[in-house]
Structure 1
Amino acid sequence: MECSRDILLIRHPQSLANIDRSICRHVRDFDVEISILGYAQTSQCVNFIKNSYFNNKRLHIYHSPFIRTKYLADRLALSLSSPKKILISESRKIEELCFGAIKGLSMQEWAYTYPKNYSDYLTAKANNEKLSFCYPQGESLVDVYQRILEFKFQILDKESADTIIIVSHDIPLKILYMILCNKKLKQYFHIPEIPNVGVHHFTRKEGTYYHQGLIFQI
């Protein structure tokens, strides 16, 4: 019989792009730095996990290959690792949706620079087909859903650590939340945004996931 396991879904701390997304015109999304508030959020989140019962168990932390997720994952590992060892792994399957060529552009700039794609977006929005809409040189929500589903089946379902911490981004975490709650992707736009360093807690028992709530937010 499988022991109950804890899964924590944590969104990254506030980044400079959360304040001004135009920064992504000049800086790769992978390399966007954390804001001053983001550093304070990191400390609060780390203290919450450190002082919780999750710190008494074997942990494995997964993060996307972005500075803002890696920083929080590293801080968690440093805070929780003594005297036990914490496993930490990077996975591209849980990285943010790729907005491709329009990353950092305003709606007006998008319409001017990629008029056909912007027109397709408006058509998809009007026809309730935004899930399958693909950004130029980027992804659709369906694309993200597929790689998050792979992450669940290939990694999360097989993970043996007592506590699994996943540090990722709003879109992939919302999709993973939906998958674990057995919700359909078409319900995506009804799921609330996950706040920066917000922590959703799930338990896994005998292969079934149970949502325990949003247990930390600032």
Structure 2
Amino acid sequence: MDMTTILLVRHGQTAWNREQRFRGQVDVPLDEMGLLQAAALGQRVAAAWKPAAIYASPLQRTLQTATPIAQACGLGIISHAGLVDIDFGACTGLSEAEFAAHYPQLASAWYERPHTVHFPGGESLADVHRRAVDMLNEVVAHHPDHTVVLVTHLVVCRVLLCHFLDLETDHFWKFEPAPASLSILEISTRGRLLRTLNDTAHLHPLAVGRGPKVVL
């Protein structure tokens, strides 16, 4: 039985995560803690799996998260636009408070009915779903019976988890993958299995250590 294992990774922490800003497709780098998280994740993946390929969103924060994994596993990184974060359009860069103040009706819809929202000048969850699921199907077709790492963003992780569990994107807010977390998806001829959700065991030493505050 061919089974493709997907290691679904959210990128590490950035300054805009700490500030709770809509990051979208702005090329925000990892902060100091994010780089430590990425290093810990790379060690974790290399110790437990032998990935056949590593795919990442083309943004800096995802590539920085993927790099320690690639180095530890002796692989290159395949940049794929299907994994890029949602385009928040005119709302990009706003804090959650600014979003609520400037776009109160849109904010209400986003937090209560996210599947109905199309960001002005940007994308909707349907747009993200279309490209992310196409990318996932492409990966599964190209890597039967292998383990593949996908390094992406919070919105894309949520959308893919909804798809994987046959949920509509109105269930979007039911998932909260932490920065540098790992979720394990298994796909075979028997169907799909969510093996692990939001695993952050590799980050525990950072949370209790001396490093900068970790935002999970």
What is the TM-score when the length of structure 1 is the normalising length?
0.80
Distance in 1 separating the partners of 2:56 and 2:128: 15
User: Which of 48, 54, 75 is residue 44 of structure 2 equivalent to?
Assistant: 48
Distance in 1 separating the partners of 2:170 and 2:6: 24
Q: CA RMSD in A?
A: 2.6
Q: Flag the structure with larger Rg.
A: 1
- Shifted more, 199-208 versus 70-79: the winner is 199-208
CA positional deviation for 1:97 = 1.1
User: Which of 76, 82, 98 is residue 93 of structure 1 equivalent to?
Assistant: 82
User: Which of 129, 140, 144 is residue 145 of structure 1 equivalent to?
Assistant: 129
* 1:181 aligned residue: 165
Code of the aligned partner of 2:170:
K
Q: Is the 8 A contact 2:14 2:61 kept in 1?
A: yes
Distance in 1 separating the partners of 2:175 and 2:6: 19
* 2:106 aligned residue: 121
- Match of 1:164, SS state, is strand
* 1:5 aligned residue: 4
Runs of 4+ aligned structure 1 residues displaced above 3 Å come to 21-24, 106-113, 122-126
Q: CA separation of 1:73/1:207 partners in 2, compared to 1, >3 Å: closer, same or farther?
A: farther
Percent of aligned pairs sharing the same letter: 22
Deviations 1:101-120 (A, max 9, x none): 2212245644676xxxx254
1:104 partnered with 2:90? no
Deviations 1:146-184 (A, max 9, x none): 22222233x133122611110001110111112122222
Q: CA separation of 1:46/1:170 partners in 2, compared to 1, >3 Å: closer, same or farther?
A: same
* 1:16 aligned residue: 15
- Match of 1:44, SS state, is helix
Distance in 2 separating the partners of 1:89 and 1:19: 28
Q: Is the 8 A contact 1:101 1:137 kept in 2?
A: yes
Q: Is the 8 A contact 2:54 2:66 kept in 1?
A: yes
What is the TM-score when the length of structure 2 is the normalising length?
0.81
